[in-house]
Chains A and B, each alone.
Chain A
Amino acid sequence: MKNNSNEHIIRPPKGLVDIDLPEIWRFRELLYVFAWRDIKVRYKQTFVGVAWAIFQPFITMVIFTVIFGRLAKVPSEGAPYPIFVYSGLLFWNYFSGALTAASDCLVANESIVKKVYFPRLLLPVSTAVTPLIDFAFAFLILVGMMIYYHFTPSLLGVVMIPVLLLISLVASSGLGLFLAAVNAKFRDVRYVLPFSIQILMYVTPVIYPVSIIPPKYQWLIFLNPMTGVINCARSLLLHTGAMDWTQFLISTAVGFGLLILGVTYFRKTERFFADIL
């Protein structure tokens, strides 16, 4: 019948709570269910549906090419502007999509958070999945463009793609977790975030290369975890210049730092979500 492993004590919260990985493993099916739900709902009753994942970055690239590439003549480090900007857009779209979804996940699921117990971490983690699918489709376009422009990526480049995606996931999840917890209490986040993401795009080398920034200020832009990602992608896939690994590591470290910050803050406030939502 019952044994001691079923015994479970509920106490008032004290101090920093660590991540209860065994518990998350126990609830892993729910994680799949949340992700599955988001995907299903996304594509139900849509006409464009899947195609949107391709249209949006493609059309954005076209517009940016005309305005920034042709008219404003922004340099593109040797590669044709369209593929230059698209490589940035690809990862940026993942980041902004995942960030937006993660920061809203608690409020969007308010009713279940208030009625059912499950480790709340499951929600923001599940929101990382749909943007991954969008990334996969958008990535196909990149492949198409590389073929069109006769680019062969280095082997390192191909290997690094999942790594870069992982860093984007880490950065967006970290910031997303933090914002999700803040959003539960301060609803401004939902309104401030879209604007902030727009601004953030301009401090990320999506439209322009890192090289147009004077070298002694470049470290500033590398504090943005996505800078490292995008710069590395361009360097290895489009051969736009030698990789500065130090800068890349700084960027990545900030990304992981955000993750730690996000998880800590989230876990600290998690117990009270049902009360403050």
Chain B
Amino acid sequence: MDKPIIEINGLSKKYQLGEREPYYSLRDEITRILKFKRPTKSREDFWALKDINLSIKQGEAIGIIGRNGAGKSTLLKVLSQITPPTTGTITMRGRVASLLEVGTGFHPELTGRENIFLNGAILGMGRKEIKRNFDSIVDFAEMGQFIDTPVKRYSSGMYVRLAFAVAAHLEPEILIVDEVLAVGDAAFQKKSLGKMEDIGKQGRTVIFVSHNMTSIQALCKKGVWLDKGRIVEIGDMSTLVANYIEHTVNNPNAHGGDNGPLVIKDVCLKNSAGHKTTDYRPGDDLTVEIHYNAREKVVYPSFWIAVTSHYGPMFMASMLYDGSTPTHLQGKGIITCTFPKMPLLPGLYGLQMGVRAQDISEDIVPTREIGLFNIIGDMKDAGFAGANADQMLGNSTKLVIPYQWSLPNGEPRRFQIRSRTIK
């Protein structure tokens, strides 16, 4: 197929802010008319998308990144025909299935089995198709005996596994996915990601939105960076991610949270020698240096930093856990956090941070990606000399804490990631 499978031309989407009130009541409308009020012309026009031009070829996996409110979900909604464009046209040359939420349409009173048919049909699968895939769906979800229990009795983990299992068996030509992979436990997330990768390999076109920089890089070669409804950049995913992170970290007004009293001015990653770098070896120390500016006095800000991979958070440092929250911060300063001898095998990792308020349900600085770093080297460097070690690395957990085997014959064998840091 020579023509692009999706062609977006001059797409814009406008919302009128007045209409975003949660409820409109006839009584209010009538009262307004009776009082001779003009319909509030001061309704701001909010352009959720402006002048989007994009061409996607069949089989491409495109990642869409951007801050919250950049228009990513709106773009997906327009592509899924859930909301109409205000201007522009979109030409789709293939069957589309959208995954904007997990478990769409699940009814708590129905059993897992019944919900598979319900959800599958809602997502666009025909009855025969669902029947054909039924066993595979149940296996993927690891549901087994619970399939005939009403969904309202499921744990949240089971619910999500089932929902994703159905969605994972969609076979459209174009698949649109919105951050649904951030669900379930680590093992399941890994499975989900694997399935998404398979779909990509099958030659289907995938459009993917996520905040997880590492997973989006794993899935997509090409990316689109949206900001305030416009395209900032289209291009190679890794370059895009690097630019995006640099932009959001260095731009004080970039996040909603940065209009607040505590502004994160810069975050740098340093190794044990104090050099700024994004390349580390297994077992190295990692220091995260946070340059902040507390424009007003900020009380009890609890910082947390998480190291993430493909599948989500791996480990973290949290003042909420350890109680080292400062009583207050004022003015400019630096907070550093060192993770000594990181137990990570070679690969690409991300960092997230946030700052919670004294009321732990509120954020002083909302969760944000602050960078990526590489652990480089091969398994031997890390202290693992197994014959298939390097091959297995792609498919297995990258976090390794010290452990020991006791075999029927011989001495116990201890292993941990070898650290070369000179102390």
Contacts and interface: CB of A to CB of B under 8 A. Distances in A.
Contact of B82 (A109, A188, A274): A274
Given A2-B93, A185-B24, A186-B29, A37 B19 contact: no
A115 interface: yes
Given A1-B1, A111-B104, A40 B91 contact: no
B260 interface: no
A20 interface: no
Contacts of B98: 115-117
A116 B82 contact: yes
Interface string B1-19: 1000100000000010001
Given A7-B91, A112-B122, A187-B25, A41 B105 contact: no
Given A10-B90, A40-B114, A111-B101, 9 more contacts: A10-B84, A30-B121, A44-B109, A111-B104, A117-B80, A117-B81, A186-B25, A274-B77, A276-B24
Contacts of B80: 116-117
A272 B83 contact: yes
A181 B279 CA distance: 57
B99 to A, nearest CB: 9
Interface of B: 1, 5, 15, 19, 23-27, 29, 77-96, 98, 100-101, 104-105, 107, 109-110, 114, 117-118, 121-124, 126-127, 150, 173
B122 A33 contact: yes
15 contacts: A2-B1, A9-B89, A29-B126, A33-B117, A37-B107, A37-B114, A112-B105, A115-B98, A115-B100, A116-B100, A116-B105, A116-B123, A186-B24, A271-B83, A272-B83
Contacts of A118: 122
Contacts of B109: 40-41, 44-45
Contact of A41 (B26, B83, B104, B107): B107
A172 B123 CA distance: 29
Nearest to B82: A274
Contacts of A10: 78-79, 81, 84-85, 89-92
Contacts of B91: 7-10
B24 A275 contact: no
A114 interface: yes
Contacts of A6: 93-95, 173
A185 B20 CA distance: 11
A6 B96 CA distance: 10
Nearest to B126: A29
Interface string A238-277: 0000000000000000000000000000000001101110
Contacts, number: 115
Interface in A1-50: 1-2, 6-13, 29-30, 33, 37, 40-41, 44-45
A2 B93 CA distance: 7
A230 B91 CA distance: 51
Contacts of A11: 84-85, 89
B273 to A, nearest CB: 50
A37 B105 CA distance: 10
A37 B83 CA distance: 25
Given A185-B24, A275-B19, A112 B104 contact: yes
B299 to A, nearest CB: 39
Nearest to B12: A12
A13 B93 contact: no
Contact of B26 (A1, A37, A115, A188): A188
A192 B1 CA distance: 55
Given A37-B110, A115-B104, A30 B122 contact: yes
Nearest to B19: A276
Contact of A116 (B26, B27, B104): B104
B82 A115 contact: yes
A72 to B, nearest CB: 35
Interface residues of A, number: 38
Nearest to A42: B109
Interface string A186-209: 111100100000000000000000
A74 B173 CA distance: 66
Q: Which 6 residue pairs spanning A and B have beta carbons closest together?
A: A33-B121, A10-B90, A117-B81, A188-B26, A271-B84, A274-B82
Contact of B92 (A7, A37, A188): A7
A188 B28 CA distance: 10
A47 to B, nearest CB: 15
A12 B87 contact: yes
Given A6-B93, A37-B118, A275 B83 contact: yes
B82 A114 contact: yes
Contacts of A2: 1, 5, 93-94, 173
Contact of A275 (B15, B26, B123): B15
Contacts of B82: 113-117, 274
Nearest to A114: B82
A105 to B, nearest CB: 13
Nearest to A275: B83
Interface in A161-187: 185-187
Nearest to B121: A33
A12 B86 contact: yes
Contacts of A109: 105
Nearest to A44: B109
Contacts of A275: 15, 19, 83
Contacts of B123: 116
A44 B81 contact: no
Nearest to A14: B84
Contacts of B87: 12
A9 B90 contact: yes
Contacts of A276: 19, 24
Nearest to A1: B1
Nearest to A185: B24
B24 A187 contact: yes
B164 to A, nearest CB: 15
A113 B171 CA distance: 21
Contacts of B93: 2, 6-8
B104 A29 contact: no
A210 B14 CA distance: 53
A133 B19 CA distance: 39
